[in-house]
Amino acid sequence: MNPISPALQALADELELGPAGPVLDTLRALYREVDLEVERQSSGLELPCRAGCDACCRESVFLSAPEFLLVASHLAASWSKSELTALLDQMSALADRFADELELLESILPGAERDEVAARVKFDCPFLSDSRCRIYSVRELNARTFGSSWDATRHEAYGCELTHARLRVLGPEVGPKLAGAREMRARLTNTLPNTARVHVYPWWFTRYRALVERLAA
């Protein structure tokens, strides 16, 4: 693993995460567990969530502070300064475009009203390139489970209509056997600090732009 730079630690401090190294190591380990569980439970089902499908990259994707820190760490290690600046400009433009919705998401408690506001925040993810994710190895938990897991609270797949259609073909008994989306989210919140607040990528990158810019300095 790359050493933790002062700039990355400064971002971790601002995110109230403490020492960055242990947080990133713990999150990577959790992601490995989740990936194995999702793959094991969905193997052989031919669900549409696979390389080349980018349906979930055009939705409201929410992530927490530790997940954002891991993405920032990846960008610092593998993106050029010009690439990072261009990304930040794209994120800022999206934040301006959805300024009203992002402000509402700051104040509305989780529930149907917040879900309705979140559903209005739709855009092509700036990390998407030729239907592939440029940060796939460090993508957030929701992206790892979307399309291949089950929401027991809503009694439906956690995924887009493509996943729902495939499960209707497979039969009603198949979906509940998938990995539990909410259970894996609970595993994240019970393992890492400061995961209560979740927000979309443009919010994170705009709010912490100055610190992210320092990563490529």
- How do residues 166-184 score in pLDDT, each as one tens digit? 999 999 999 999 999 999 9
Q: What is the pLDDT of residue 26?
A: 98
C-alpha torsion sign, points 6, 96, 137, 67: positive
Contact 183, 154 (CB under 8 A): no
* Residue 175 placed within a domain: yes
* Residue 103 placed within a domain: yes
Q: What is the pTM of this model?
A: 0.96
**For the range 132-137, what are the long-range contacts, defined as Cβ-Cβ under 8 Å and sequence gap of 24 or more?**
132/51, 132/52, 132/54, 133/54, 133/57, 135/71, 135/74, 135/75, 137/74
Residue whose pair of structure tokens reads 């490995």 in the numeric block: 32
* Residue 102 placed within a domain: yes
* Residue 1 placed within a domain: no
157: confidence class by pLDDT, cuts 50, 70, 90: very high
pLDDT tens digit sequence for 59-108: 888 999 999 999 999 999 999 999 999 999 999 999 999 999 999 999 89
Q: What is the pLDDT of residue 2?
A: 66
216: confidence class by pLDDT, cuts 50, 70, 90: confident
* Residue 121 placed within a domain: yes
Relative orientation angle of helices 181-191 and 20-42, to the nearest 10 degrees: 160
Q: Which bin fits 47, alpha (ψ -120 to 50), beta or left (φ > 0)? A: beta
Q: What is the pLDDT of residue 61?
A: 86
Q: Which amino acid is at 105?
A: L
Higher pLDDT, 49 or 2: 49
- Mean of pLDDT values over 125-136: 93
Number of domains in the chain: 1
- Give me the domain span that covers residue 88: 6-215
